Amino acid sequence: MSVQSLHRTLEQELLALLRGASLECPACGEFVLHEATLVRCPECGLKAHGRLERGEAGVEFDVQAG
């Protein structure tokens, strides 16, 4: 798998999260919580901030390893 195809896969997962089409955390696989424009994983602490407008997303991605 190339880096480019991995990037596309991650991008697709994040866009699905922000659309509300996915309920699974891409980092740990647990269920996420949707809170307005914030998607948060209570298990690993992943946070994705953004909203979809006209089919595009502005995404901020926070995760802390630990």
pLDDT for 11-41, tens place per residue? Answer: 888 888 888 888 888 889 899 998 888 888 9
Query: Where do the H-state alpha helices sit in the chain?
Result: 3-19
Mean of per-residue pLDDT scores for the chain: 76
Phi, psi at residue 21, to the nearest 5°? Answer: -80, -15
Inform me whether the pLDDT recorded for 62 exceeds 70.
no
Stated pTM of the model: 0.60
Mean pLDDT of 33-56: 79
CA distance 62 to 17: 14
Of all residues in the chain, the percent with pLDDT exceeding 90 is 12
